[in-house]
Amino acid sequence: MVPKFDSFFTPYLKCLSDGNIHNNKDLVDYAVKYFNLTEEEAQERIANQSQTQVYNRVLWAGTYLRKAGLAEKAINGQYKITSEGQKRLKSGEVTLRILAEYPSFVEFYGRKPKANSKHQKEEIAVEEMEKTPIEVLEEAYSTKSCNILSLGKSSLGTLYSEISFKLTVSKKSQ
């Protein structure tokens, strides 16, 4: 079974930690070896069939790590580790909770630091971040009886509005 996307943070940085610039193929190959995935697991596709789960999770891990400042684009489609990424990797596993310590990640994730916070950061509920946005939409849509990919533009817009409304209402009631 392919691990959740947040499990990819550490191997992503470990791949980059050699100081070289790496592309997505390098990162995917490294992750497959790191997690000791079978060929079948490595080829498992996400719901829309356009990419493998491993590739998708590497992309999301990279986005989150870059937003936290632990990795950066060297050139288009090529990535390298930052000095902060090297430092963080030496201190152990990289988790969502650790990423939430970085103001740039908190800002990316849509939260503003609390003005009265001792460390000028807002704690983000890690449970909110445990799924990629695509996984959240797929899960939300799974309560519907048809495939999201077969919807027309107007139906998809209606679905998005319904999901947004439900998320907003549930957020306010908490």
**Taking residues 72-86, what's their average pLDDT?**
95
pLDDT per position as a tens digit, 128-168:
566 666 666 666 666 554 454 554 444 555 555 555 545 55
Could you give the residue range(s) of every CATH 1.10.10 domain in the chain? 5-126
CATH topology of domain 5-126: Arc Repressor Mutant, subunit A (1.10.10)
The mean pLDDT value of the chain amounts to: 79
Q: How far apart are CA 91 and CA 88, in angstroms?
A: 5
Q: Is the pTM of this model over 0.85?
A: no
pLDDT band at 72 (very low <50, low <70, confident <90, very high): very high
